[in-house]
Structure 1
Amino acid sequence: MQESAKPWVLALDQPFMEGIANWPDGRFEYRYFGGHHMLQLCLGKLSERDIAAFVRGQVHVGFYLRQAVLFILFKIEHLMDWSDQAFTLHLVTPEDRELLPHVPGTHQALSLVLVEAESGLVKGMRLVTYSKHASALLHRILQQQLESPFDADRHAALVAEVYRQYPHSRLLAKAAILIEKGGGQQ
């Protein structure tokens, strides 16, 4: 009998990931698994004010697309300016790569998790939603990724090309195909 995988449980003041005691300061990772979208923000020297800004600050999100490479843009008022994460479903583990059907008119949820870089502990969690339009666009882009052949070297070259053209995330945000405020904040 095959042993079932241990569920991933996130809780405040607990490790984001078991066995990892610290993360690089300023590391951001957009994760997709089981139909869930999550943005992990690893920041160092967090103050109570930073944590409050994470929990209450207006979240802005956006998409920049270069061929099949999607750049997810994000900023949180009073905590951080624009940043980004290149994303393709092809780099997600095969068992998590399945794209759930999109129901027109629905809002895709995005979980945000603030991780203290020095300790690896979760210091904040919140949920926002993409608009109906952004949800449909995101699903369409991810579906196109799955239907397109993937070449890791070409992907890396495209990412490097975008970062040469837009060396700062705020410049990438100005060229984005979509920028919006995250909604449904909880």
Structure 2
Amino acid sequence: MKLEEMSMKDLLALHNRIGDKQAGPKTFASRGKLVARIEAIAADKNIDLASFGRPQQPEAAVPSTQPQAEATEAPKAAEAKQRGKGIGALARQILLDPAGYPHALIAAMVNAQVEGAQATDKSVRWYANEMRKKGIEVPPRQKAHPADMDAEQSVEAMKTVRVVEPAADD
């Protein structure tokens, strides 16, 4: 094992394995000091560094006498490893809706659909910002939902609404 060819991370791990006192990544000012410290510890403890870091040969696998688990148990294990409640995925999905729901409304929708969710408008805004950073185009949001507007705001919002005549066959 050549200490000079090892990375700082590997050298530090080796030092922490053979040394009495644990060291952090900022303990040694230079690579040379860390190598010198490892060599000093190895000399004090009579450790052969040439054979110390070699990986051990794996033993031959002994076939198990116990039957293997049935294939029906595998999906149960996968379900148990699932992280979270799906709040982020649902919020991202609603954020991509071209209707452009306000962040507060999206948070309320997520809280209604996911049991135990505590989404806020700020957390939904964070998801939107994260998506934009990753290059995903998020549709623009409405400033306020029409149900939350006062009379003046409602009049302004209604100016943009266009009335469509029903078709003749309706």
Query: Which structure dedicates a bigger proportion of its chain to strand?
Result: 1
TM-score tier by shorter-chain length is: under 0.3
Query: Which structure dedicates a bigger proportion of its chain to helix?
Result: 2
- Structure possessing the higher relative contact order (Cα contacts under 8 Å, 6 or more residues apart): 1
Q: TM-score, normalised by structure 2?
A: 0.21
Q: TM-score, normalised by structure 1?
A: 0.20
